[in-house]
Structure 1
Amino acid sequence: MRSYKAKAVEPIRLPDRDARTEALDAAGHNVFNLDSEDVYVDLLTDSGTGTMSDEQWAALMRGDEAYAGSSSFSRLRSAVEDVMGFEHVVPTHQGRGAENVLYGTLVEEGDVVLNNTHFDTTRAHVANQGAEAVDCPVDGAWDRSVEGDFLGNFDVEKGRAVAEEVGAENVPVVVTTITNNSAAGQPVSLENIRATANLADELDAWFVIDACRFAENAHFVQARESGQRDRSLAAIAREQLSYADAVTMSGKKDGLVNIGGFAAMRDDDLFEHAKQRAILYEGFPTYGGLAGRDIEAMAVGLREAVEPPYVDERVEQVATLGELLSEAEIPIVTPTGGHAVYVDAGELLPHIPTEEFPGQRLVCELYREGAVRSVELGSFAFPGADRPDYVRLAVPRRTYWREHLEHVAETAAAVREKREEYVGLEIVEEPPMKELRHFSARLESVEE
């Protein structure tokens, strides 16, 4: 039984098959190019697509739209300090704005940035600074035959080896992403966060946590890590972040809002430099490209995110989708993470080679079969990376019900039945920056 009830609803419709096929062709076999009205169940992302609470909607009315010195910012700063433990806060329009502010301040050409696994925009921001992004996932992070409690962990020895190879002086930043989105949304243990912080100290590097799903990660720590079960979710969430020098945050995830983010840090000098960069790219440091009303909603959302039973229900809904897909004989990564279910498209469509993007073909057929929108996080989204062809089904927060998840599983089952009919895809148009090609590239079916 959910701990909330609906106060507003939005009608959705299932377009007929011909309309879906026409829309997919017009989109160049890239579901980012689809109109939302042509989508029935939208699992493209959990970023900014969730449903706000009545308290958040009420907070919108308190929005102080002052250009400077907004009282809404003061409430956000208090929420960040109370929930996450950081005094210095630089608001931004969303998570990638926070990445620009922080990495544009800390990273220079020729540097190397270590991460348990860089996500797409993080990798792109590092590359944009002329630096190299190096992933340090633990063994088994991308192996479906391996199951573990914390497969999102940072491989500290791997990171140390990279630093020895390139020189510690060339590693200004060590990052941990919680949960590890690019590694199937798997969580990171408190023990590993401490060990990674120690590595950053050894290298005299800044330790940064990408905290956009910090509450979901705390849920897994509470459930799985020794000695944590009797602690409150809020206490675990705050301790996770206590080891970091700085965080980047997309409020569109565990801030429970539709827009917004921030960078937060402890160092006074870093704060001053980050504020100046924010003025250039985001806005004055007390609004950061956001309306005061959105800042108010994020301040409320941060506090709601660490309150049970919200997180328990959130993670349970994702697990339910995983169970429904497994029952339909769809190969997924288990155990499921906190925000999404990851399907192994390479296993489902073994006759399509990696260079012909089996994951993107699966994304297209999920849409064609049932107007379900998902996203490929394999060879198409991460060109040149050594990782499996996963498709992510990201569940928006407090938005869909079990019947919608059943539709997704039924759609996937229908795709599975037809899997031998599908052919690969090839890119016919792509942007200059390959790290971001999956957002706008266009593809066509490979000739048989």
Structure 2
Amino acid sequence: MAHHPPEPFRIKMVEPIKLLDRDARKAAIRRANYNLFSLRAEDIFIDLFTDSGTSAMSQAQWAAMLEGDEAYAGARSYFRLAEVIQDIFGFSYFLPTHQGRAAENILSACLVKPGQYVPSNIHFDTGYANISVRGGHPVNLVIDEAHNPTVYHPFKGNMDLQKLRDFIKQIGPHQIPFGMITVTNNAGGGQPVSMENLRAVSQTYKEFGIPFFIDACRYAENVYFVKLREPGYADKTPLEISREMFALADGITMSGKKDGIVNIGGFIAMNDKALFEQASNELLIREGFPTYGGLAGRDLDAMAVGLREALREEYLAYRLGQTTYLADRLRELEIPIIEPPGAHAVYVDAGQLLPHIPQEQFPGQSLSVELYLEGGIRTVEIGSLGFAHPDPQTGQMVHPKLELLRLALPRRVYTQSHLDYVAEILAKTAARREQIPGYRLIYAAKLMRQFTAQLEPITLDVHPSEPSLELSMLQV
């Protein structure tokens, strides 16, 4: 068994968890219409649904919350957070928001007009939706290696520079209000982006006069991958690498619920004063006054501490080591995963594990349901349920390249024995893979359908004659 760094903390407080019996789990998933978003948290044993807002805060963060200044405007907490953001990210202006999607909402509201295009490596669901709801078109231009689960590439999150250049020339810079890149690339397996690629992407956007924004929610993890894997960075601190990274961009959106290690919070930052003033007006309408942005003062203080804690090397070594440990266990059990593993999650190749389930029957969702039934584990599919969409020209459903199941690790929450349990349950599930059914939609919203969708299993020996609800439900 591969060694990984021990936890750089001691456990001071615990939260009880309970494993329901199989009949109770079966009843729970039926009540949830086979959508794990709809499960009650108390019915879950190990929750690997997301690392967003589910991490354990430190004693320093809890102490900072007691100093939170709840003044409506100009609170001390705001200025403490502003100092940290200026030190790490370096932008001239920032606005707090209640989470990352609110920052994406404000950016899209300010800049996106109907018919425009926003390129990125791969847009995640909330960013995709915020662009789409304003009539824009999110475009994914990640390198081809990202779609090959078994090939090793140290920076599978990289943007394909030639694709980006060709796309800008084809569409025209005036049709691109801003360009993005996500670090790390969540929808593509949590893969990092190299500094070399970020620099080239920045230069390309600047060449065509296109503002460049980074989705920075897992910035610290990306920074540590740069330190470990990219020549010339081994002797630099995570803070130094972070400053170099963000100096390449015109702004960022950030969910503090990831590498801010808080339960709620985010922000948007930029250098353009006119955009800041426009964003401030949007924030006033949707989030609150610009010095609190929908958050309590104590939340601002907790995020200020968490942003710094996320850059500590001992923490980052543990964070990547824990994910590597789970990936090693799954390899031993011959569970196909995205290689190399990222930092915040291990991604199981559900399409390869369940080849009898076609994409329109959601193999990632099928596997997530079975893991809950087998062992009370909640995970999330990153595949056709969340990311299939109708082509704007033909109306035909476009499926993602990969059907994945994400095992996201909350920060500072689970121990090695918990991960051993997860691996064992996955192995038991894989052993009866041929018995696992696909699923059909019985309800879906037009955007971000995975959050509220209702599904039902498809009997393996029955092939329904009616057309799939997948596209029609998207048009509800």
TM over 0.5: yes
- 2:417 maps to 403
User: Where does 1:321-340 land on structure 2 (aligned, <5 Å)?
Assistant: 321-340=326-345
Counterparts of 2:400 and 2:280 in 1: how far apart (Å)? Answer: 36
- 1:442 maps to 454
**8 Å contact 2:44–2:377 — kept in the other structure?**
yes
Is 2:215 the counterpart of 1:210? yes
Is 2:406 the counterpart of 1:392? yes
Structure 2 portions without partners, runs of 5+: 1-5, 389-397, 463-476
1:360-385 Cα offsets, whole Å, 9 max, x none, are: 00000011001111000111110124
Counterparts of 1:23 and 1:321 in 2: how far apart (Å)? Answer: 27
Counterparts of 1:193 and 1:108 in 2: how far apart (Å)? Answer: 26
1:322-368 Cα offsets, whole Å, 9 max, x none, are: 11111111100111001000000011111111111111000000110
Of residues 426, 444, 455 in structure 2, which corresponds to 1:412?
426
Counterparts of 1:385 and 1:417 in 2: how far apart (Å)? Answer: 27
Percent identity (aligned) = 49
User: Where does 1:112-123 land on structure 2 (aligned, <5 Å)?
Assistant: 112-123=117-128
Of residues 136-145 and 174-183 in structure 1, the stretch that sits farther from structure 2 once superposed is: 136-145
Counterparts of 1:36 and 1:12 in 2: how far apart (Å)? Answer: 10
Number of equivalenced pairs: 446
- 2:145 maps to 140
Of residues 306, 316, 320 in structure 1, which corresponds to 2:321?
316
**8 Å contact 2:77–2:300 — kept in the other structure?**
yes
Counterparts of 1:352 and 1:415 in 2: how far apart (Å)? Answer: 15
Counterparts of 2:268 and 2:348 in 1: how far apart (Å)? Answer: 32
Counterparts of 2:76 and 2:95 in 1: how far apart (Å)? Answer: 15
Amino acid of the residue matched to residue 437 of structure 1?
R
- Structure 1 residue matching 2:146: 3-state secondary structure: coil
**8 Å contact 1:169–1:203 — kept in the other structure?**
no
Deviation at 1:52?
Answer: 0.3
Tell me the C-alpha RMSD between the 2 structures: 0.8
Is 2:312 the counterpart of 1:307? yes
**8 Å contact 2:49–2:378 — kept in the other structure?**
yes
Is 2:357 the counterpart of 1:352? yes
**8 Å contact 1:138–1:152 — kept in the other structure?**
yes
Counterparts of 1:149 and 1:372 in 2: how far apart (Å)? Answer: 30
Amino acid of the residue matched to residue 449 of structure 2?
R
Counterparts of 1:102 and 1:309 in 2: how far apart (Å)? Answer: 34
Deviation at 1:239?
Answer: 1.0
Amino acid of the residue matched to residue 425 of structure 1?
Y
Counterparts of 1:53 and 1:237 in 2: how far apart (Å)? Answer: 22
- 1:371 maps to 376
Amino acid of the residue matched to residue 29 of structure 2?
L
1:67-111 Cα offsets, whole Å, 9 max, x none, are: 111110000000000111123110000000110111211211111
Counterparts of 2:200 and 2:261 in 1: how far apart (Å)? Answer: 29
Amino acid of the residue matched to residue 41 of structure 1?
I
**8 Å contact 2:359–2:399 — kept in the other structure?**
no
Amino acid of the residue matched to residue 457 of structure 2?
S
Of residues 32, 41, 59 in structure 1, which corresponds to 2:37?
32
Amino acid of the residue matched to residue 442 of structure 1?
Q
Is 2:427 the counterpart of 1:422? no
**8 Å contact 1:349–1:358 — kept in the other structure?**
yes
User: Where does 1:45-444 land on structure 2 (aligned, <5 Å)?
Assistant: 45-383=50-388, 384-433=398-447, 436-444=448-456
Deviation at 1:45?
Answer: 0.3
Counterparts of 1:304 and 1:351 in 2: how far apart (Å)? Answer: 44
